[in-house]
Amino acid sequence: MRLLHYSDVENAYDDPERIGRLAGLVGARRDDRTLVVGTGDNTAPGVLALLSEGRQSLDFFRAVRPNAETFGNHDFDFGPDRTRELVADSPQPWLSANVREPDGSPFAGVDPWTVVERGGTRVGLIGLTDPATPGMCPAATGLSFADPIEAARDAVDALRGRGVDRIVVLSHLGRLDDELAVAVDVDAILGGHVHSERRDRIDGTLLTRPGPNGRVVWEVELGGDRATATRRRAADAPVDRTVADRLRARMDKTGLTEVVGAVDEPIRRERSLRYAGECRVANLVTDAYRWATGTDVGFANAGGLRDGPPLSGEVTVADLVGLSPFGGTLYTAEVTGTELRRLLTETAAPDGALGSDRRWWGHVSGMRVVWDRARDELVEARVGGERVARDGTYTLATNGFVLASDDWFAPLTPDHAVDEHGVQYEALVEYAREAGIAPELEGRLVDVRG
């Protein structure tokens, strides 16, 4: 038996050729012994996802007809009711062993696991979602997420009782996959959530992750003594023209293809760059926030900016919305100097905590921040060239996620908001129209060692 594993399709829908190639890859590699499975964040986020509340994914699902899908945190971006509708309208069964309705019943009535037979082999598939989802996706508030390890153990016991030959977990647990591999005896854990590719083995269990945006599919073979995986690139596949044309038609109807500016020097936006420190794409976003609000400081969370190809040449509305494709409100917050310094302290990750290339959780405009990595402390914080006064008051532009995220940016709360300025990505579009698109590196985030 073979499985084709995709995950975190996210903003691939905003590039009709890319989503067409992903569908083409699945179609080219599929045969009568193959299962097609997805492991979450395959309905959102993205520009088209925002405008259709995830329904653009149905064009892809109906073309590739997956055998099973599980939930990612972003699959709840538009609220549980919309997710229930997508489940009902999708051709594939959705699986979740640990997502619950407020009354404790399975979310959307989905099964925790299923058994599928191919070529005489019976494989059990289990779905699991990160229990931290409500903290990352406020729209999921009200749902409960059971301990995934305990849920997996129960599902494995049930599948063993059904006499399956193989067990595969469809996981959107991210780094919890390692703990899961030690805790349960399964053949493979097909993962997502974390945006880095993976092919690994722990205690005999194969672990895979395709990475984001529909660029890679893992081809997992369950034959022999242990599962194996082969990497397949969507860029090498033929384009499924039906899928590409449907997504292109959706974009044309929305005005997303309008050109609003041009870039002379390509602006890179990959995840490793954004977490490593100051970068041009983050400066563009935070400058737009500050420009639209007239505040002292602009602040954006690194995780709210998304991967994608560099901005280059003509830039469309879709390109700019795709930098941070979330419908949250842009706010003006009022903070004391002490609170601002504490925010900066939380923005600089402890050295090595996120890996050598992931040192900053957030980005700023209108500020210079110097962090000592040897002593792990804030050395300098300036607004408009002046040192931040602890007893001073400052205005800060940021998005609703930052204000609501107690676990990530604790100094800020919704109570700090003093004004609203519409949907946050609208500021990017208007800024590009009025001020152009030419961000520069200015020494806003500086790392020193002793």
Domains 2-245 and 258-448 share a fold: no
Q: What is the pLDDT of residues 15-47, one digit of tens each?
A: 999 999 999 999 999 999 999 999 999 999 999
Q: What is the CA radius of gyration of the chain?
A: 22
| pLDDT value of position 404 | 87
The structure tokens listed for 304 are 């709210």
- The order of strands in the sheet holding 216-221 is 94-95, 68-70, 34-38, 2-6, 216-221, 228-233
Position with higher pLDDT, 407 vs 94: 94
pLDDT level of residue 170 (50, 70, 90 thresholds): very high
What angle is formed at CA 204 by the lines to CA 198 and CA 205, rounded to 5 degrees? 50
DSSP string, 25-72: HHHHH--TTEEEEE-S--S-SSHHHHHHTTTTHHHHHHHH--SEEE--
Upstream peptide bond of 45 is cis (omega within 30 degrees of 0):
yes
- Residues 6+ positions from 23 with CB-CB distance below 8 Å: 60, 63, 64, 240, 243
- In the predicted model, what is the mean pLDDT of residues 97-114? 98
pLDDT level of residue 349 (50, 70, 90 thresholds): low
- In the predicted model, what is the mean pLDDT of residues 306-319? 93
Q: Which amino acid is at 430?
A: E
Residue that the structure tokens 């009902």 belong to: 88
Backbone angles phi, psi at 367, to 5 degrees: -135, 160
pLDDT level of residue 254 (50, 70, 90 thresholds): confident
Q: What is the pLDDT of residues 260-301, one digit of tens each?
A: 999 999 999 998 899 999 999 999 999 999 999 999 999 999
- Contact, 78 vs 124, CB < 8 A? no
Q: What is the pLDDT of residues 115-135, one digit of tens each?
A: 999 988 999 999 999 999 998
182: exposed, middle or buried (Cβ count in 10 Å: 0-12, 13-18, 19+): exposed
Position with higher pLDDT, 83 vs 139: 83
pLDDT level of residue 351 (50, 70, 90 thresholds): very low
| pLDDT value of position 131 | 97
Euclidean distance between CA atoms 245 and 227, whole angstroms: 36
- In the predicted model, what is the mean pLDDT of residues 312-329? 93
DSSP code for 244: H
Residue 394 pLDDT greater than 90, yes or no: yes
| pLDDT value of position 357 | 55
| pLDDT value of position 374 | 86
pLDDT level of residue 410 (50, 70, 90 thresholds): confident
Q: Give the Å distances, CA to CA, from 343 to 237, 287, 300, 405, 411.
A: 45, 18, 12, 12, 6
Nearest to 61 by CA among 26, 113, 106, 111: 26
CA distance between the termini of the chain: 56
User: Which option is the CATH number for 2-245: 3.60.21.10, 3.40.33.10, 3.40.50.2300, 3.90.1150.10?
Assistant: 3.60.21.10
> Helices (DSSP H) in 128-278: which residue ranges?
133-136, 148-161, 176-183, 241-254, 271-276
Domain-wise residue ranges, the chain: 2-245, 258-448
Nearest to 431 by CA among 288, 225, 317: 288
pLDDT level of residue 350 (50, 70, 90 thresholds): low
SS3 416: helix
Euclidean distance between CA atoms 183 and 289, whole angstroms: 45
User: Which option is the CATH number for 258-448: 3.90.780.10, 3.30.70.890, 3.30.160.270, 3.40.190.10?
Assistant: 3.90.780.10
| pLDDT value of position 352 | 46
pLDDT level of residue 358 (50, 70, 90 thresholds): low
